[in-house]
Structure 1
């Protein structure tokens, strides 16, 4: 049995959310398989990453992979303690995240210019074979734009949706170690795959990331799965140096983000002041025009003020 996934990247067992979901689910039930890191789709027998291959059986869909693991008669069976109702929650939460969180993640990682230049492009350059790198980068960004455009929402609205979704996930997790109790399930693998890159990777435009890190139960949940089930091997001093350089570039981009936000606030303030000034000028102009019109009418006789004649009472 083999699992074909994207390569690791600075603290992540895989750079790809779907690959993380497959890997976590397999590790939860201690499935013995060979993990193959693919730098291009053609490295996988199916031409798709991630992929699970067991003889003639090939699986590229996460829900199908979960069903496969549930059927295995191993010592640790995935979702063995879950009721049918709990198992249905997997697809429900997947739909929730795809609507409330995924568009924001696509916007942040692939469309936001600051995150794209400082993080995403470097991430793909390190984990994708050349020259396939260029094709994948353009394809990924185009797919992200389609996902975001279908929502019809601005980046600020997507961020608010993402923050609300994170709060819902935090409320669902509560004080539990995992989303369905004390043992990790397919739902944990699903959520881990979506959230781990947002939690682990340094980002210049990091509003949603800050919200995730401010939710302590989700932070502990992600750190627990990363360290226990999806640890990353020590890549040596060279990798440490590369990561430091990445952080430096992200920090530079973060300063540019703050500068742009400040300039935007100044432009908005100037616009408000200009609109207020224009409103005042218009009011003054209208008052002046009315006064001038009345005075002109009085001077030319167009406007006449009738005299009031009082009759003297005879004594």
Structure 2
């Protein structure tokens, strides 16, 4: 007897790009199943026309069993009489809980994966379409992509939720999974089971794929224990061969370059040309009156940027304290936009994100919009849209988070830098200390002191607004956690009771 498992090819530091394939692969590795893994780009070999596809071939060369669904594959592995049996240490109640999670994640995370990979136009054109077109031969690739995308879009529509609500439900589920995992290595202890394979399959692509619309990815990155969970399985059980890893590293640079290039074109190309023309036109008129107006326009720009960056507390005398634990405050910092205290921030895009020595490093572009008088926009080149670069490092082990923010446009005559650091209170773990530093450098003779003082004054006076904004986000997080926990416990209990009743009747 022999066994074969057909999956999509490896890429993006994953042994397969498809989340269902990753679930099958993880389950195989957890129980050391003696199966031949075949990476393929021809799903027509499967009876369903999709991967994964698992088959058992008997001694006569005949196919004795075919499996394409994960629950049936788990059932098969539990019955196998090999050296290691999947879920052998689980109680009947825990096995019922696994089935409950299978139903729940199919209801919440599956629609999100279908939306991210197949319905979202930016993600589909940047990642999905390009990847499948490159690994499959013509014209099979176009036929498959058209059929697959229509199928997944119809599935998302059948859920009968808006795109925003699909992502929100997935975010809540990820938060609940993070709370359930806690400090454990795996969800049921120190030994991986089918529930770990199930959850890993969903989270792996969410963490690794370079999708432009990455709100769910950013939320996952904020759950450091789930990131550690995924990276641990990748490094122990689903290790990519060294040669493939080197090729993937080269490809990763190309994917990142494509993403960065697209973002730069979208945000800066037209704006840069317009800014240069307007700044040049303003510079040609050297009258004192226009120089004075230009200086006033610079003050308006500095104040506008201060409003944008002033959402957090600023205090010259001592580091402000937040009456919440470090992990709560840092989660709120990731999700601080949008909030009622600052509606100027209208967009965020991730340039890069990686895990380096267990430290999350991320770069984002923040887009804000302010109302600016027409004469100031004409003379300064500032149309009311402000772009800022944010660099973040989060070390969950030492509980340290830092954010560095600087302005991008308007830098020809003004540089603004802000640094935030979050650390736990040394004597009270229920509190967090925030240290905030800001500097402004104005390149306008005779107006330097005026502009810098105006910026720092506005920055300081936004302290109350900053506290309200953070507290609002923290309240939302607590409310989401409470609501989701109650809903989650209710659904798991109901499904567990149904499964246990089924066991009793059988």
Residue 169 to residue 238, structure 1, CA distance change in 2 (3 Å):
closer
Larger radius of gyration: 1
SS in 1 for 2:5: strand
1:247 is matched with: 256
Alignment of 1:128-277 (within 5 A): 128-233=136-241, 234-235=243-244, 238-254=247-263, 261=347
Q: Is the 8 A contact 1:17 1:193 kept in 2?
A: yes
Q: Deviations over 1:114-167 (max 9, x none)?
A: 111111112212333332111221122212211221233222222211110100
Distance of 2:113 and 2:105 partners within structure 1: 10
SS in 2 for 1:101: helix
Structure showing the higher helix proportion among its residues:
1
1:88 is matched with: 96
1:297 is matched with: none
Unaligned 5+ segments in structure 1 are: 268-315
Residue in structure 1 matching 2:45, options 29, 43, 66? 43
Distance of 2:170 and 2:142 partners within structure 1: 29
Structure 1 residue ranges, 4+ long, deviating more than 3 angstroms after superposition: 43-48, 236-240, 252-262, 264-267
2:6 is matched with: 4
Residue 159 to residue 119, structure 1, CA distance change in 2 (3 Å):
same
Using the TM superposition, name which of 10-19 and 153-162 deviates more. Answer: 153-162
Q: Is the 8 A contact 1:38 1:44 kept in 2?
A: no
Unaligned 5+ segments in structure 2 are: 58-63, 269-345, 349-366, 371-506
Residue 184 to residue 255, structure 1, CA distance change in 2 (3 Å):
farther
The alpha carbon displacement at 1:74 in A equals 2.2
1:113 is matched with: 121
Q: Deviations over 1:162-206 (max 9, x none)?
A: 110100111111111111111000111111111110111112111
Q: Is the 8 A contact 1:204 1:251 kept in 2?
A: no
The alpha carbon displacement at 1:243 in A equals 2.2
The alpha carbon displacement at 1:99 in A equals 1.8
Using the TM superposition, name which of 196-205 and 238-247 deviates more. Answer: 238-247
Distance of 1:67 and 1:178 partners within structure 2: 20
SS in 1 for 2:32: coil
Distance of 2:22 and 2:148 partners within structure 1: 18
The alpha carbon displacement at 1:87 in A equals 0.9
TM-score w.r.t. structure 1 length?
0.78
Q: Is the 8 A contact 2:13 2:248 kept in 1?
A: no
1:26 is matched with: 28
Q: Is the 8 A contact 1:124 1:137 kept in 2?
A: yes
Distance of 2:88 and 2:267 partners within structure 1: 48
Using the TM superposition, name which of 252-261 and 61-70 deviates more. Answer: 252-261
Distance of 1:45 and 1:59 partners within structure 2: 9
SS in 2 for 1:58: strand
Residue 95 to residue 252, structure 1, CA distance change in 2 (3 Å):
farther
Residue 86 to residue 254, structure 1, CA distance change in 2 (3 Å):
farther
Distance of 2:233 and 2:184 partners within structure 1: 14
Distance of 2:179 and 2:16 partners within structure 1: 27
1:15 is matched with: 17
Structure showing the higher strand proportion among its residues:
2
Using the TM superposition, name which of 214-223 and 98-107 deviates more. Answer: 98-107
TM-score w.r.t. structure 2 length?
0.50
Q: Is the 8 A contact 1:204 1:257 kept in 2?
A: no
Structural RMSD (CA) = 2.6
Which structure is richer in relative contact order (CA contacts within 8 A, separation 6 or more)? Answer: 1
Residue 238 to residue 191, structure 1, CA distance change in 2 (3 Å):
closer
